[in-house]
Amino acid sequence: MSTPPRRTQVGIIGAGPAGLFLAHLLHRQGIKSVILETRTREEVEGTIRAGVLEQWTVDLMQDLGLGERMRREGHFHRGITLRFAGESHHLDFEDLTGGKRVTVYPQHEVLKDLVAARLADGGELHFGVRDVGLHDLTTDRPRLTYTTRDGEPQVLHCDFIAGVDGSQGLSRQSIEGRTEYGHLYPFGWLGILVEAPPSHHELIYARHERGFALLSTRSPEIQRLYIQCGPTDDVAEYPDERIWSELHRRLETVDGWTLTEGRIFQKGVIGMRSFVCDRMQHGRLFIAGDAAHIVPPTGAKGLNLAVADAVYLSRGLDCFYRTGRQDGLDRYTETCLRRIWKAERFSWYMTTLLHTNPAESPFEHRIRLADLDYVVHSRAAATALAENYVGLPLD
């Protein structure tokens, strides 16, 4: 006996940042949604990713009642430190942006908070589904088909579908007439988690002739560090001794600052790329987050861009259900892309500024150093960097 079709207002494919934030925003607006996720809850909450939250993202979490644990366990920094030529230069973002700060709170912790709140609100969130299909997207009755983790086939009728199923998901493939823009960077990051106390009170971004390095924090006991490496390097090529040697050399200063070592308990290499899909809607389907764009992590924009997409889409849907007007939904792609391309520009800028490129000429190397020197000695340049880092205002 087949299961009768079910219905909701918005079907959401994916329980990442964009999907979960969208569901919470819609819930506040009185709009019903159902989230379908192919991964298990343990897989969603166990995907370890760093997280630097823009000020408006922090404010949104507080406004939605999702910020209690973040306030307790997050790290709030006045700014960042740029390090090059053996010297450190502090950029005071609070001063440069009228009080905005840097909040370090890992993405997987954000997801844990969102999942727990969604389930506590009684919202539908189905993990471990498979065989998701999108149908009738250009009609006013689109539908999703899927199989539950128990093997039951399901049909979900929707008014709209939000495809937030990541860069490898099916949703983007259903966007007709799209153009995709991409850029591969000739380097990657080797990231490690370390049992050690903090070596510094805020993030350090370092450019060194041997390559980029980043010092971040996870908790008072756990630190996150990265070094530039080849995009296809094998973790086995980096024993602990080599990693510490590279970190000490790339983060060293002329004033004798020292890095605190500890037990490395996780290593991983990630490649770096930029990607933008120039069309984010087709009929009643709207894509968001990694399904529509990817940024290198240097600019700390990935999660924040996904949440911005969710905000813009929720505004369009709210207007539609309150007034019947579709102009907000019609402008969804245009509105999102203005912010996306600015974030791509900033991420590209930070990445090329701080990394050494094997193909970089001595002239280009000197240009990068001059750019860094300009940023740390010009309030106007430092303000431009700070404004982008803490988050441009939402349109």
The whole-angstrom separation of Cα 210 and Cα 224 is 19
Backbone angles phi, psi at 3, to 5 degrees: -75, 130
Q: List the catalytic residue out of 200, 297, 332, 355.
A: 297
17 catalytic? Reply is no
3-state SS record for 44-83 = HHHCCCCCEECHHHHHHHHHCCCCHHHHHHCEEECEEEEE
301 catalytic? Reply is yes
Q: List the catalytic residue out of 200, 282, 301, 355.
A: 301
The two tokens of residue 76 are: 């709030």
- Which amino acid, one-letter code, is at 363? F
- Give yes or no for a contact between 311 and 394, defined as CB atoms under 8 angstroms apart: yes
Report angle CA 56, 60, 65 to the nearest 5 degrees. Answer: 150
- Give yes or no for a contact between 188 and 229, defined as CB atoms under 8 angstroms apart: yes
Bridge partner list, 83: 88, 206
297 catalytic? Reply is yes
248 catalytic? Reply is no
Q: List the catalytic residue out of 205, 238, 312, 332.
A: 205
Q: List the catalytic residue out of 77, 200, 282, 293.
A: 77
In which residue are the tokens 């860094």 written? 372
Q: Which residues are catalytic?
A: 77, 205, 297, 301, 389
